[in-house]
Structure 1
Amino acid sequence: MEKLQFYTNSVFDQLRKRQDTLADQAVFSLVQNPSLITEINAWNVIPEELPKEFPAELKAFFTFYLDKAQEYAESDLRSAQDFFEEKGDLYLAMLGFYALPYCYAFADGAQVLVRSNRILDQIGERLGETASFVLEIFRPGAFSEQDQAYLVCAKVRLIHALSRYFIMNYAKDWELAFGQPVNQEDMLGTNLAFSHIVLRGLAKMGAAPSEKEYESVLSYWKWIGELMGIETQFWPTTTKEAFELDKLIRKRHLKSSEAGQRLVKGLLHFYQKTILDPVLNAQAEGILSFFLGQEASEALNLKPGIKVPGEILGLVFNFAGRKNFGGKKGYKALRKNLQTQQQAQFGKVLEIKLPELKRT
Structure 2
Amino acid sequence: MYHPQQFDELRKQEDPLADRAVMDLINFPELSSEINLWEEIPSKIPAHFPASLHLFFEDYNNPATSQERKSLIQGQAFFNKRGDTYLAMLGFYSLPYCYAFANGAEVLVRSKRILEDSGKRLGETAKFLLDVFKPGAFIDSYQAFLTCAKIRLIHAYSRFFIHHYAHDWKPEFGKPINQEDLIGTNLAFSLLVVRGMRKVRATVTKEESENLLAYWKYLGKLLGIQTEFWPETSKEAFVLEQLIRKRHLRNSAAGEKLIQSLLSYFEQNQKETFLKGKSEALVSFLVGKEASQALGIHSEPIFIPEVVGSIFKLLGWKNYAGNQSHARFMKEFELSYSNQFGEAVQIHLPEQKRS
TM-score range relative to shorter protein: over 0.9
Report the residue type matching 1:69 in the other structure.
P
Are 1:159 and 2:159 counterparts?
Answer: no
Match of 2:314 in 1: 319
Match of 1:194 in 2: 189
Between the aligned partners of 2:186 and 2:301, the Cα distance in structure 1 is 28
Deviation of 1:13 (Å): 0.2
Deviation of 1:185 (Å): 0.1
Deviates more, 1:15-24 or 1:317-326: 317-326
Aligned with 1:268 (options 263, 270, 284) = 263
Q: Which runs of 5+ in 2 are unaligned?
A: none
Report the residue type matching 1:128 in the other structure.
G
Are 1:37 and 2:59 counterparts?
Answer: no
Report the residue type matching 2:338 in the other structure.
Q
Answer whether contact 1:103 1:109 (CA < 8 A) is retained: yes
Match of 1:110 in 2: 105
Deviation of 1:71 (Å): 4.2
Match of 2:287 in 1: 292
Between the aligned partners of 1:247 and 1:141, the Cα distance in structure 2 is 33
Aligned with 2:90 (options 81, 88, 95) = 95
Deviation of 1:319 (Å): 0.4
Which residues in structure 2 correspond to 1:185-334 (within 5 Å)?
A: 185-334=180-329
Report the residue type matching 1:268 in the other structure.
L
Answer whether contact 1:46 1:146 (CA < 8 A) is retained: no
Match of 2:353 in 1: 358
With the length of structure 1 as denominator, give the TM-score of the two structures.
Answer: 0.96
Between the aligned partners of 1:288 and 1:240, the Cα distance in structure 2 is 25
Aligned with 1:339 (options 321, 334, 341) = 334
Aligned with 1:63 (options 39, 42, 58) = 58
Deviation of 1:146 (Å): 5.9
Deviation of 1:70 (Å): 5.4
Between the aligned partners of 1:184 and 1:341, the Cα distance in structure 2 is 34
Q: Structure 1 residues 339, 128: CA separation in 2 closer, same or farther (over 3 Å shift)?
A: same
SS of the residue 1:350 aligns to:
coil
Report the residue type matching 1:20 in the other structure.
D
Between the aligned partners of 1:306 and 1:158, the Cα distance in structure 2 is 43
Answer whether contact 2:10 2:178 (CA < 8 A) is retained: yes
Are 1:184 and 2:179 counterparts?
Answer: yes
Report the residue type matching 1:68 in the other structure.
N
Are 1:126 and 2:103 counterparts?
Answer: no
Between the aligned partners of 1:305 and 1:135, the Cα distance in structure 2 is 32
Between the aligned partners of 1:282 and 1:313, the Cα distance in structure 2 is 15
Answer whether contact 1:45 1:146 (CA < 8 A) is retained: no
For 1:54-77, what per-residue CA distance to the aligned partner results, in whole angstroms no more than 9, with x for missing partners?
000011001111x22354742121
SS of the residue 2:201 aligns to:
coil
Deviates more, 1:105-114 or 1:287-296: 287-296
Between the aligned partners of 1:135 and 1:211, the Cα distance in structure 2 is 23
Report the residue type matching 2:278 in the other structure.
Q
Between the aligned partners of 1:318 and 1:113, the Cα distance in structure 2 is 32
For 1:171-217, what per-residue CA distance to the aligned partner results, in whole angstroms no more than 9, with x for missing partners?
11100010000000000000000000011000000013100000110
Answer whether contact 1:277 1:320 (CA < 8 A) is retained: no
Deviation of 1:8 (Å): 1.3
Report the residue type matching 2:155 in the other structure.
H
Between the aligned partners of 1:294 and 1:284, the Cα distance in structure 2 is 15
**Please, what is the CA RMSD of the aligned residues?**
1.1
Answer whether contact 1:184 1:230 (CA < 8 A) is retained: yes
Between the aligned partners of 1:146 and 1:90, the Cα distance in structure 2 is 24
Deviates more, 1:30-39 or 1:70-79: 70-79
Between the aligned partners of 1:333 and 1:265, the Cα distance in structure 2 is 30
Answer whether contact 1:287 1:306 (CA < 8 A) is retained: no
SS of the residue 1:315 aligns to:
helix
Q: Structure 1 residues 175, 351: CA separation in 2 closer, same or farther (over 3 Å shift)?
A: same
Q: Which runs of 5+ in 1 are unaligned?
A: none
Between the aligned partners of 1:280 and 1:46, the Cα distance in structure 2 is 42
Between the aligned partners of 1:299 and 1:217, the Cα distance in structure 2 is 27
For 1:107-132, what per-residue CA distance to the aligned partner results, in whole angstroms no more than 9, with x for missing partners?
00000000011000111100000000
With the length of structure 2 as denominator, give the TM-score of the two structures.
Answer: 0.98
Number of matched pairs = 354
For 1:250-281, what per-residue CA distance to the aligned partner results, in whole angstroms no more than 9, with x for missing partners?
00000000000000000000000112122333
Report the residue type matching 2:62 in the other structure.
K
